[in-house]
Copies of this chain bind each other. A is one copy, B any other.
Amino acid sequence: MTKINKEKIKVVAFDADDTLWVNEPFFRSAEARFYQILEKYVDKKENGKDFTEELYANEIKNLHIFGYGAKGFMLSMIETALETTEYKIEGADIQKIINMGKEILAYKIDIYPTIEKTLKALEDKYTVICITKGDLLDQESKVARSGLGKYFKDVHVVNEKDPKTYQRILNGLEIQPEEFVMIGNSLKSDVLPVTDLGANAFFIPVEDQWALEAVDEDTIEDKKYIKLERAEEVLNYL
């Protein structure tokens, strides 16, 4: 059983999307409507095409130049629509795709039930920060719209959540790995790169997980993180 030495902890970091608030379901809903648009042009069953695979293939192809976030998602949806319909998609449907992306960029923030209570309890004892990936403006706007900004000493919007990125943040904070704990919903981005550094991590899974973030938990032999159901459970450890 993994333990956390709470006497050592100085900085508690939260992921944002799907850790502090609901995010992925907005993308899922947009995808569902996107597939409906495509089905006007291509009979899914007849040609056996799987639009999900086409879209994910484009997202992966574009990730190195677009990065994470809604703008890249919109552009990958448009490219997928062009290819899938053999460039026959109508302008009005392209506009619908853009509008769906704009909705994602403006959605009403729905904070998870125990988040604010947890942040309030932590802020007196620790430096609390937020580490999130995605579009800079979009992520900062969501923190602002959530009203949770006041709990965070800093909000780091990063391109990739790998050990190098976490190490850079630890260096900036002038702390050791054992003084840091990360809380998030993604094993790939919030948990494994953090425990790789010897730092602490809480994993709070959500039902909807983006395919590009998915890691099968059963494949992890040496689990150095603590799995929770709700954010407030971190208060049992910190």
Which chain A residues numbered 128 to 159 have a C-beta less than 8 Å away from chain B? Answer: 135-138, 140-141, 157-159
Cβ contact within 8 Å between A95 and B91: no
- Residues of B contacting A102 in the complex (Cβ-Cβ under 8 angstroms): 65
Q: Would you give 18 A-B contacts (Cβ < 8 Å), ordered by A?
A: A65-B105, A65-B137, A65-B138, A66-B71, A67-B135, A74-B75, A75-B101, A78-B78, A78-B94, A79-B95, A82-B94, A85-B91, A86-B91, A87-B92, A88-B91, A136-B136, A136-B158, A137-B159
Q: How far is the CB of A130 from chain B (nearest CB, A)?
A: 15
Expressed in whole angstroms, the Cα–Cα distance for A44 and B106 within the complex equals 34
- Residues of B contacting A92 in the complex (Cβ-Cβ under 8 angstroms): 82, 87
Q: Whose C-beta in chain B lies nearest to the C-beta of A154? A: B172
Cβ contact within 8 Å between B66 and A137: yes
Expressed in whole angstroms, the Cα–Cα distance for A156 and B72 within the complex equals 21
- Residues of B contacting A75 in the complex (Cβ-Cβ under 8 angstroms): 71, 74-75, 98, 101
Q: Residue A90 at the B interface, CB < 8 A?
A: yes
Q: Residue A89 at the B interface, CB < 8 A?
A: yes
User: What is the copy number of this chain in the assembly?
Assistant: 2
Q: How far is the CB of A235 from chain B (nearest CB, A)?
A: 29
Q: How far is the CB of A174 from chain B (nearest CB, A)?
A: 13
Cβ contact within 8 Å between B78 and A136: no
Q: Whose C-beta in chain B lies nearest to the C-beta of A158? A: B136
- Residues of B contacting A95 in the complex (Cβ-Cβ under 8 angstroms): 79, 82, 87
Question: Which A residues are within 8 Å of any B CB, using their own CB?
Answer: 65-67, 71-72, 74-75, 78-79, 82, 85-92, 94-95, 98, 101-102, 105-106, 135-138, 140-141, 157-159
Q: Whose C-beta in chain B lies nearest to the C-beta of A74? A: B75
- Residues of B contacting A94 in the complex (Cβ-Cβ under 8 angstroms): 78, 82, 94
- Residues of B contacting A82 in the complex (Cβ-Cβ under 8 angstroms): 91-92, 94-95
Q: Whose C-beta in chain B lies nearest to the C-beta of A92? A: B87
- Residues of B contacting A74 in the complex (Cβ-Cβ under 8 angstroms): 75
- Residues of B contacting A67 in the complex (Cβ-Cβ under 8 angstroms): 135-138
- Residues of B contacting A141 in the complex (Cβ-Cβ under 8 angstroms): 65
Expressed in whole angstroms, the Cα–Cα distance for A86 and B92 within the complex equals 9
The 10 closest A-B pairs by CB, nearest first: A87-B91, A67-B137, A71-B71, A136-B136, A65-B105, A82-B91, A137-B159, A87-B92, A82-B95, A89-B91
